[in-house]
Amino acid sequence: MSHAGGIAAVVVVSILTLGIGIWGLRVSRTTSDFFVASRTVRPALNASAIGGEYLSAASFLGVAGLILTFGADMLWYPVGWTAGYLVLLVLVAAPLRRSGAYTLPDFAEARLGSRRVRALTSVLVVAIGWLYLIPQFQGAGFTLRLATGIDAPLGGLVVAVVVLASVLSGGMRSVTFVQAFQYWLKLTALLVPLIFLLWVWMGDGSPSPANPAFDVASQSGSWADPLSGHGTDSAGHPLYSTYSIIIATFLGTMGLPHVVVRFYTNPDGRAARRTTLVVLGLLGLFYVLPPVYGALGRIYAGDLIADGRSDAVVLELPSRMIGGTLGELLSALLIAGAFAAFLSTSSGLTVAVAGVVSQDIVERWLPGVAAFRLAAVVAVVFPYVLAVAAQDVGVATAVGLAFAVSASTFCPLLVLGIWWSRLTDAGAYAGLLVGGFLSGIAVVRTFFSDGGTSWFLTFLAQPAAWTVPLAFLTMIGVSLLTPQRRAPHVSTFMIRLHTPEGVPLHRG
């Protein structure tokens, strides 16, 4: 593959991103614009922006790679990443918007009236944000090496610089426009090449990817069947792992920092619900596509598994199946989509982490927008350095762990905080500590060693199925033991969360 098309794709996406960012700057002047786009974003635009921000490298490249390697069980990742929005819609969307808080720490403090819970929540937001940013930079490095031939650390640096430039110039308002554009770019970039690829596949007599002839010699289990443990050394515990993935993804979405921040840009609770519904549709439309790339990859690019480069399957297929100028053009389109995926998710996470860092730390010394800009630099530089230093664990694996940590900490905080008036600050603090600590151990273990199949190692590789219930039980148990610590304003706060804005009530 020559690099001209790839370089052109990266340059065009960068210029469009910065161009739209600068255009957004003209309508973005106040601190409120920077943080929440002044809360005037309509559902259709906002939903595209949420979709653009949410569909990361893990969705664009990682899912196809996982399905190529591990088969049917990996279909649960895209399903869970979509279903997570349904859970968020029914349990969190409208009340979270009505709480009037901007970040999760704001919500925790408003609900529980505790500075200590706020501080712990801030630490967790930054930790989850960085855990999610590291694989974005790593994936960007490897995509740019494939596309343009430059070194991986340099590729990550390109993404970091473009993200910083767009976030620093316009804040949330311009990021909204950039990300809405990037959702549609990603969808097009995956859809158009797929039409050509399926055409070629049918021309080849539509061979079934389920055919065992495509198995790489060392693999056990049937690729097309769920729960067969395909792609692992032995069968392991696939039913447990599958349910743990389901719990992490279904419940983890609501606590991701860049997802939560988006809800404050809706005008009211009703708009927050409608936006989320549109997001469900947009995600479903997108997630039909990556598994097809994974299945085609099994027929045409099975050797990538042995090379440990399965994340590249989406980018490699056009040159392998079509070739020539058309193959180059389609490759360039896919590279543009992948690059957009890194940029949009990284910018969303940067805005979210920078929001927390600037509100809780930097604003003691600097005024609003300057604090936000300094915090944005911190929010990008630290995970970039880690991405270069740490070993590559696979884009989707690292992102999966971020979901597990989020499900073990913020899911109980949000669900109990919104629906259970007896939650106390002590209960929330204990639950966050238990969930964060246990899932944190699992993260460290996964980053520093290879997988195994004993029960103990399976528990650590997919922690959500036991850490989430433990975090919930701790929050409930400690809250019941400390009834005297219930926040005095809790009934007013519940009224604010659950009553429509049109009713003239006192909301605290």
C-beta atoms surrounding 422 within 10 Å: 13
Cβ-proximal residues to 252 (8 Å cutoff; 6+ apart), any chain: 84, 402, 403, 404, 405, 406, 407, 411, 464
* Least Cβ distance, residue 290 to other proteins (angstroms): 10
Question: Which of 22, 192, 285, 366 touches other proteins by CB under 8 A?
Answer: 285
Question: Which of 243, 382, 447, 466 touches other proteins by CB under 8 A?
Answer: 243
| Helical pair 4-25 and 115-148, crossing angle rounded to 10 deg | 140
Question: Which of 96, 164, 246, 404 touches other proteins by CB under 8 A?
Answer: 246
Looking up tokens 């069968």, which residue turns up? Answer: 235
Provide the mask over 38-77, with x wherever binding to other proteins is found by CB under 8 A and - wherever it is not. Answer: ----------------------------------x--xx-
359-398 residues in contact with other proteins (CB under 8 A) are: none
Joined tokens for residue 417: 């905080």
| Sign of the four-CA dihedral 409, 126, 107, 166 | negative
**Do the Cβ atoms of 271 and 43 come closer than 8 Å?**
yes
193-201, 290-298, 322-330, 422-430 -> range binding other proteins (CB under 8 A): 290-298
112 near other proteins (CB under 8 A): no
Joined tokens for residue 72: 């049917």
Joined tokens for residue 302: 């099975």
337 CA to centre of own chain:
16
* Least Cβ distance, residue 498 to other proteins (angstroms): 5
Provide the mask over 398-437, with x wherever binding to other proteins is found by CB under 8 A and - wherever it is not. Answer: ---------------------x------------------
90 near other proteins (CB under 8 A): yes
**Do the Cβ atoms of 468 and 435 come closer than 8 Å?**
yes
- SS3 label, residue 414: helix
Cβ-proximal residues to 125 (8 Å cutoff; 6+ apart), any chain: 103, 104, 105, 257, 352, 353, 356
82 near other proteins (CB under 8 A): yes
Closer CB to other proteins, residue 284 or residue 477?
Answer: 284
503 near other proteins (CB under 8 A): yes
Rounded Cα–Cα distance for residues 356 and 249 (Å): 23
254 near other proteins (CB under 8 A): no
264 CA to centre of own chain:
18
Provide the mask over 193-212, with x wherever binding to other proteins is found by CB under 8 A and - wherever it is not. Answer: -------------x---x--
* Least Cβ distance, residue 282 to other proteins (angstroms): 10
Residues in contact with other proteins by the rule CB under 8 A: 72, 75-76, 79, 82-83, 85-87, 89-91, 94, 206, 210, 224-227, 239, 242-243, 246, 250, 270, 273-274, 276-277, 280-281, 283-285, 287-288, 291-292, 295, 419, 491-492, 494-495, 498-500, 502-506
